[in-house]
Amino acid sequence: MSTRYPVRLGCDDEYGGYVASVPSLPGCMSQGKTKEEALTNIEDAISGRLQVLRETGQPVPGGDADVYLIEVAA
């Protein structure tokens, strides 16, 4: 069984790359010099976080299946 987790991906000028985080898994973050690297790294971080939650008997949050971006004129 697989679950999809929404990932926030942002540019980090100080780091010189991208930072990825998972809102439904607080503290689950990673980074990479490219978007692709950051997304690969966050996939590993998600897997590791879920493994720790299961091993320690903590509840595993479900992911959100759909994410929508809404553009609003400022």
pTM over 0.85: no
Q: How confident is the model at residue 15 (pLDDT cuts 50, 70, 90)?
A: confident
Looking at residue 65, what is its pLDDT? 62
- Say if residue 1's pLDDT is above 80: no
Rounded CA separation 63/46 (Å): 11
> 17 and 32 in contact (C-beta within 8 Å)?
yes
Looking at residue 27, what is its pLDDT? 92
Give per-residue pLDDT as tens, 21-62: 999 998 999 999 999 999 999 999 999 999 999 999 999 988
**Residue 46 belongs to a domain with what CATH number?**
3.30.160.250
Looking at residue 56, what is its pLDDT? 96
